[in-house]
Amino acid sequence: MEFGLPILVIAIVGGLYMAWAIGANDVANAMGTSVGSGALTLKRAIIVAAVFEFAGAVLAGSSVSKTIRKGIVDPDAFAANPELLVFGMTASLLAAAVWLNIATRFGWPVSTTHSIVGAIVGFSAVGLGMDAVSWGKVGAIVASWVTSPLTSGIIAFVGFSALRKFVLESDDPLRRTRIAVPYLAFLTTLIITLVTLWKGLKHLNLDLSAQGTAIVAISVSFVGAVIARQLVSRLPDTQDPNDTFQFSNMERVFAVLQVYTACAVAFAHGSNDVANAIGPLAAVVATIQAGAVTAKSAVPIWMLLLGGVGIVVGLSTYGYKVMATVGEKITHLTPSRGYVAEFAAASTIVVASQLGMPISTTHTLIGAVIGVSLARGVAATNFGIIGQIALSWVITLPAGAGFAVAFFYLFKTLFG
């Protein structure tokens, strides 16, 4: 293609920009509960997220990327005009990144996947026609705006209500914590092991059977429970049941569980959502090199590194805005509340991955935080912020589409 080098440079810049935007918005909201609850300082949250997101992106990121994300458009539709795919994917990267940048500026936690899907819908509709878009897939994504947060919200509401009744508000919460933590550690380890196997490591094609997966998950969870029991038995006791000292020790335990869960979710997120930045880039590179559209594109290691670095830089330079929204503005979080929210989000991801439900990590986590908040009472919930977040979710698809159309026509004008 005569325009190959200029558009390739723009696509690489767009991929890096998109990775930066993912770090600033998506990764930030995943770590926001840990910062808001005080389980991690902002600096430590950035370090922890950077390590696990980068590891997930580089070590377990897919080496093969589907040309069209989420099956929104059939790749064969571009066979006669491969340059349209090049223009469109480059436009999608820039469009999604611009929208994520705007959303982050206002502290709105939005879905990076929905941003890139909206962009692909936009350029495909104007480049190929409305009939080229799989509107059924788009409808399923729209439905996930409700199903994802509702599922995690219910789990979080029930989970925190039970934790508050039987542990936090009991006569001796520290003793109850000692009793409950091994069981909680077992469940938490079980969930995050399944998240890691089904989401974080799915690109490595481990090919574990259902029985093999169950054996690994239960074995690891049993070890986790034993370790947790030994550690919690060392907690210093207090004779005064009203002493805040025992509450601080109790919350310290939940802080460990919360960070533990957040690390697994960050690893799974890095391995999966890095594709939103490098997937379109891989499609552009493959199409330019072959001069034709391929259903799947090879992802070289430099692209995974590009995505991982971009995510880390985005989180560390601009992630504080979304962290503040998720961790502080919806409701007041403590480590126990933050732990329940993270656990509910991870549980929802496990259920959705097995049922094949389209799901957004962002929507799932926000729903879990709202569920915890409502379990404390309506007065503890900032419905103004929730309204803003919900509106930003609705805007995401059309915003991504609108920006993509503008960039698509720009590239057609410059290179077409």
For 136-177, the pLDDT digits (tens) are 888 888 888 888 899 999 999 999 999 999 888 888 887 888
Residue, of 266 and 392, whose pLDDT is higher: 392
Q: What is the dihedral of CA 165, 171, 175, 177, to 10 degrees?
A: 20
Report the C-alpha dihedral over residues 324, 325, 329, 335, rounded to 10 degrees.
Answer: -60
Q: Residue 222 — very low, low, confident or very high, per pLDDT cuts 50/70/90? A: very high
Average pLDDT, the chain: 87
Domain that holds residue 327: 4-415
Residue 237, Cβ density class (10 Å: 0-12 exposed, 13-18 middle, ≥19 buried): exposed
Q: Say what the pLDDT of residue 361 is.
A: 85
For 278-328, give the DSSP string. Answer: HHHHHHHHHHHHHSS--SEEE--HHHHHHHHHHHHHHHHHHTHHHHHIIII
Residue 236 has what DSSP assignment? P
Structure tokens at 141: 């994504």
Residue 64's DSSP bridge partners are 298
Q: How many domains does the chain have?
A: 1
Burial class (CB in 10 A: 0-12, 13-18, 19+), 76: exposed
- For residues 1 and 44, which has the higher predicted lDDT (pLDDT)? 44
Task: Return the top range by mean pLDDT from 14-18, 274-278, 360-364.
Answer: 14-18
Q: Given this model, what pLDDT does residue 239 score? A: 47
State the Cα–Cα distance between residues 405 and 408, nearest whole angstrom. 5
pTM to 2 decimal places = 0.89
